[in-house]
Structure 1
Amino acid sequence: MHIHRIAAFTDRGQGGNPAGVALSEQLPSAEVMQQVAAKVGYSETVFACPNGDGSWRVRYYSPEAEVAFCGHATIALGAVLGQTIGPSSYPLALAHDNIEVSVENRNGVWVSVLRSPPTRSAPANSALMAEALDLFGYTHGDLDPDLPPREANAGVDHLIVPLGSRSALSRMDYDLDRGRRFMRSHGIGTVAFVYRESGALYHARNAFAIGGVLEDPATGAAAAAFAGMLRDLGAIEGSLITIRQGEDMGEPCRIEVELTTVAGSPVNVRGTSRAIV
């Protein structure tokens, strides 16, 4: 099995979040996919095979478990499909949702756009927030007074915690084992901390302990959920937001999310990719 190693959501050809991408005529067994993902060691590896009806059957695995949906691996998959088959739109049949990724080549750079599952969000439970703040060493004074924490979903559940300053975002840290227990007990895919620089530009850091990863350099699924959350709160200015992530890790990433005003509708998450040599 050949594994393509792709960094997704790059910023001017640099940085990006690594993902493994495996295309095959049939999906391997769950046991084999888990073994391969653990050996590759990236936060996610995506496996895809043709369905026979023009769509692709897709599964995502972290080093420790299957994941229902992964944005950066989908962006990477789009780049590999573009290189292998050609620029097009590719319907994807996930474990629980049907989505689409389109890809084009712009001056030698592969640009992928994933259309997410429907979005939804709700106020974060106060007990959940108290536990999260204690885990990450924050207080209520660190929070953004104008953007309340929420639980949000665009294929995976996320706890999204807006912070009031960029310096607070830079301090994000926690114990991996304790974070894993926290996320497993509450069914959370990632805990996403965000800082609003402007109505169209945000900075983010995402803890992914449930996947065995302390922090993700770029998280497309959380970006989609966050955009849906902003829409639910009426906090969107225009139809496009940019999220910068990975800067505190030395892996700068750029995620663009385009959305309509229709509550709960899917959003489009865009990013560029590069091959990892």
Structure 2
Amino acid sequence: MNAKICFIGAGNMAKSLIGGLLASGYEAKNIIATDPSEEQRQALGSQFAIESFADNNEALMHADIVVLAVKPQILRNVCAEISSTVQAGSPLVLSIAAGIRTDDIDRWLGGNLPIVRTMPNTPALIQTGATGLFANARVNDEQKSQAEHIMRATGLTLWVDTEAKIDAVTALSGSGPAYYFLFMEAMENAAEKLGLDHKTAHLLTMQTALGAAKMVMESHQDCAQLRANVTSPNGTTQKAIEHFESKQLREIVEGAMTDAYQRAQELADELGGDA
């Protein structure tokens, strides 16, 4: 793939994608980025040896693919600023801005554009991310491959067939890292109350989480079977699992993810207007 990619915005997620693309063999001459900060642009040049611009429209002049990597709250204004240039070039548009629907992006950019909406998560910053993608009807097969290639630079990519499912992806993998951080934090605190020092509790918690995830990724068994494998009858693990079940852990998780899903839909409504 040798399409010219222009990143509008050069925050952490954009830099993670740029770094991942370069590491996978993508040529630096085919990646450009924009940022209003001269210091940030110099840093991009030093770190990645890519060309950068202060002016979004100037950067877009020869772009085949545009990655919208600005904060959701300012995306409407950025789209209004670049709409004429985008309409003239009709590039593939990728959005990594959380919560903004493809129809809203398309309207802000002038309409009739191929747009892929993505939902990455923060582990993408260390190339272990999980990203959901949704393509509008104007995205062709080649463009889907291009979008997947870009987002795969930071980890796993999966397509969904309706945009509503992106909100489910948000509730699962988008917000999910924080759920695990909370559970790990609770495990550390409980271990300290049981007598372990903080460092020991922290290291054992991290390694346990890593090992459990690795077993799920590499095993041919599902989570329920893996759990059963380590739950000896009337043993310590069974007592802990019974406590979780008595406190309705499954219902708590389902309720939390449902709340996140509904909030994602609310945010899309709030951020998607023209006011």
* Band of TM-score, shorter chain: under 0.3
Larger relative helix fraction: 2
Q: State TM-score, norm by structure 2.
A: 0.24
- Structure 1 or 2, whichever has the larger Rg, is 2
Larger relative strand fraction: 1
Q: State TM-score, norm by structure 1.
A: 0.24
